[in-house]
Structure 1
Amino acid sequence: MSETPSPVDGDPADVLCTPADYVRWAASRFEAAGLSYGHGLDNALDEAFYLVRGALHLPHELPEVYLRARLMPAERRRLVGLIEARVTTRKPIAYLLGEAWFCGMRFRVDERVIVPRSPLAELIMEGFEPWVARPPRRILDLCAGSGCIAIACAKAFPDAEVHAVELDDGAAELMDANIADHGLGGRVHAHRGDLFEPLRTAGVEAFDLIVTNPPYVPDDEWAALPAEYHAEPRLALAAGTDGMEVVDRLLHEAPGFLAPGGTLVGEVGASVAPFMARFAGLPAHWPEFVHGGSGVFVIERDDLVDWLQGDRDVG
């Protein structure tokens, strides 16, 4: 990693005046510091613009004239502090701002949850077409974290009943806050517990659609990740020697919670190879994404049941 350069001589807030000044300076600082980008953006300039826009509470589609506007002294000091914090702490920008965007919606985030960035957003916004034939009446989000997937599904399917399950108490508290922020307390039902266990005790009916972004990073790969990822909860990322410990349980238990004709959609990111090695012959589909991302599998309940039966017969 490159040595972090010193800031400009004196107080940058005395020299830099406009949002454009801070975008330029931040991008230079980020690039020179050798930061890692992987929480929704992939380069120093985009990160710099995202930080400046977010800190100033400006819209995503920002007219260029605003980039030339002079900032108040307090705004300048806040931007300098955030830019320096990004360099020195290596925390993702979402944690520094306390917010992230998913499916066009704002969510509260902090170190209790991973930063929302899943390509599942594209599937949600497209109504899971062509993988789901009709609008689901009941949806489950497993390993829900901030609750962004469950909330986005509730918005995409306004007639659906949505349930969300999260194991970690801190993450579940943040999920509750996001559900309340989006006014969905009556439609998104939050559960605390390990995968399907709280649904068993609650006697919840089967689901037409289960969506999950579980931990799937092999332990040794997690250990080698840049500091930005180590700022996120390990529980939400690392999952054993091949990263498939939680996914294995999901696949084996999901049929009992899927309605006839139901569909399971899960993300395994860069762990497609260990997924296919461990679950050889699983008849899953792998959607392609227009807006980037990969590693999402789709499988229908009947196909999963048949594969599990064959796997038991072989075993």
Structure 2
Amino acid sequence: PRSFIAELLCEQLAPWIEDPDGVTSVLDLCTGSGCLAIFAAHAFPKARVDAIDISPDALAVAARNVADYHLAERIRLIESDVFAALGKERYDLIVSNPPYVKAESMRSLPAEYRREPELALASGDDGLELTRAILAAARQRLRPNGLLVVEIGHNREELEAAFPDTAFTWLDTTAGDQYVFLLSREELP
């Protein structure tokens, strides 16, 4: 996986999650190939994991990967536009590596990235369109004391400017501390 969230899941999101066995429900929003859902299932062995994507093609790839890891009984794949198909489900943890490429950057992506569907990369003029949608609805989708972890690429300054009253916790990854944020349910805007 290319997501920095994967390395954080390998550490069970310590120290923010003190009891990994206490995590019983995880949502991987914008799952793509399902890699973060699989990492989450391994990191939190007592959790049921929902993996959502808007793309049927991505979910087909995720289904193969989930089957390869023998996790079909614990990971449920759902076709949905963000939270739309979830009903009233609530989670202990939501992770997301949503599309976050700015419109200007989309026009100059290297050939390697242009092989990906645009739907998997583009997120409006400033790269935050999907992140805004996640932040707007995540509070209603998290259980008390639940956590939201989102990767946003190179958009930290734009995100902090768009949400100046939100106390983002920036998680340290191998690439630095500007790509993945964490918010508790209570800290969400």
Partner secondary structure for residue 155 of structure 2: helix
Deviations 1:271-297 (A, max 9, x none): 1121112122211100112x3354100
Does 2:75 align with 1:182? no
Letter in 1 for 2:53: E
- Give the 3-state SS of the residue equivalent to 1:216 in structure 2: coil
- Matched residue SS, 2:50: strand
Matches of 2:119 and 2:19 in 1, distance apart? 34
TM-score, normalised with respect to structure 1? 0.57
TM-score (norm 2): 0.94
Partners of 1:273 and 1:232 lie apart in 2 by 26
Does residue 143 in structure 1 map to residue 30 in structure 2? yes
Match of 1:274 among 158, 175, 180: 158
Instruction: Report the secondary structure of 1:263's partner residue.
Output: strand
Greater helix share, structure number: 1
Matched, 1:206 2:90: yes
Cα offsets for 1:83-102 (capped at 9, x unmatched): xxxxxxxxxxxxxxxxxxxx
Counterpart of 1:191, as a letter, is I
**Is residue 2:14 matched to residue 1:122?**
no
Q: What are the residue-to-residue correspondences of 1:1-315 with 2, within 5 Å?
A: 116-135=1-20, 136-200=23-87, 203=88, 205-289=89-173, 291-292=174-175, 294-304=178-188, 308=189
Identity %: 42
The letter for the 2-side match of 1:174 is: V
Q: Which amino acid aligns with 2:81?
A: D
| Structure whose alpha-carbon radius of gyration is higher | 1
Deviation readout 1:34-75 (Å, 9 max, x if unpaired):
xxxxxxxxxxxxxxxxxxxxxxxxxxxxxxxxxxxxxxxxxx
Deviation at residue 177 of structure 1 after TM alignment? 1.0
Q: Which secondary structure state, in structure 2, belongs to the residue aligned with residue 162 of structure 1?
A: strand
Question: What code does the residue aligned with 1:121 have?
Answer: A
The list of structure 1 runs, each at least 4 consecutive aligned residues, that deviate by more than 4 angstroms after superposition, is none
Measured against aligned partners, the alpha-carbon deviations of 1:87-131 in whole angstroms (never above 9, x if no partner) come to xxxxxxxxxxxxxxxxxxxxxxxxxxxxx2111111100000112
Bigger fraction of residues in strand: 2
Aligned residues: CA RMSD: 1.2
**Distance in 2 of aligned mates of 1:178 and 1:236:** 18
Query: Per-residue deviation at 1:298?
Result: 0.3
User: Distance in 1 between the 2:75 and 2:139 partners?
Assistant: 22
- Distance in 2 of aligned mates of 1:297 and 1:156: 19
Q: Residue by residue, what CA displacement relative to the aligned partner does 1:171-210 show, whole Å, maximum 9, x if unpaired?
A: 011111111111011000110010111112xx5x310000
Distance in 2, matches of 1:292 and 1:158, equals 27
Kept in 2: contact 1:131–1:298 (CA 8 A): no
Question: Which sections of structure 2, spanning at least 5 residues, go unmatched?
Answer: none
